Amino acid sequence: MTERGQFPEGFLWGGATAANQCEGAYNLDGRGLANVDVVPIGPDREAIITGQKKMFSFEEGYFYPAKEAIDMYHHYKEDIALFAEMGFKTYRLSIAWTRIFPKGDEAEPNEAGLAFYEDLFKECHKYGIEPLVTITHFDCPMHLIREYGGWRNRHMLDFYVNLCRTLFTRYKGLVKYWLTFNEINMILHAPFLGAGICFEEGENQEQVKYQAAHHELVASAMATKIAHEIDPENKVGCMLAAGQYYPNTAHPRDYWVAMEEDRKSYFFIDVQARGKYPNYAKKQWERKGIEIEMTAEDLDLLKNYTVDFVSFSYYASRVATGDPEVRDLTAGNVFTSIKNPYLKSSEWGWQIDPLGLRITLNAIWDRYQKPMFIVENGLGAMDTPDENGYVADDYRIAYLEAHIQAMRDAIYQDGVDLLGYTTWGCIDLVSAGTGEMNKRYGFIYVDRDNDGHGSLKRSKKKSFYWYKDVIASNSASIK
d(CA 391, CA 383): 7
Q: In this structure, are residues 36 and 193 in contact, taking their beta carbons and an 8 Å threshold? A: yes
What Å distances lie between residue 66 and 136, 142, 432, 450, CA to CA? 16, 14, 9, 11
Q: What is the DSSP code (8-state) at residue 348?
A: T
H or E stretch at 253: helix 252-269
H or E stretch at 444: strand 444-446
Q: In this structure, are residues 440 and 426 in contact, taking their beta carbons and an 8 Å threshold? A: no
The β-bridge relationship of strands 444-446 and 458-460 is: antiparallel
d(CA 188, CA 195): 10
Burial class of residue 413, CB neighbours in 10 A (0-12, 13-18, 19+): exposed
Count the helices and strands in the chain (H runs, E runs): 15, 16
Q: Which residues contact 82 (CB under 8 A, 6 or more apart)?
A: 427, 444, 458, 460, 464
Is 376 part of the annotated catalytic residue set?
A: yes
H or E stretch at 115: helix 111-126
CB count, 10 Å around CB of 200? 10
CB count, 10 Å around CB of 340? 20
The β-bridge relationship of strands 344-345 and 444-446 is: unpaired
Pick the catalytic residue from 376, 387, 401, 436.
376
Q: In this structure, are residues 421 and 92 in contact, taking their beta carbons and an 8 Å threshold? A: no
Q: Which residues contact 395 (CB under 8 A, 6 or more apart)?
A: 379, 381
Q: Phi, psi (5° rounding) for residue 131?
A: -70, 140
Return the active site residues: 376
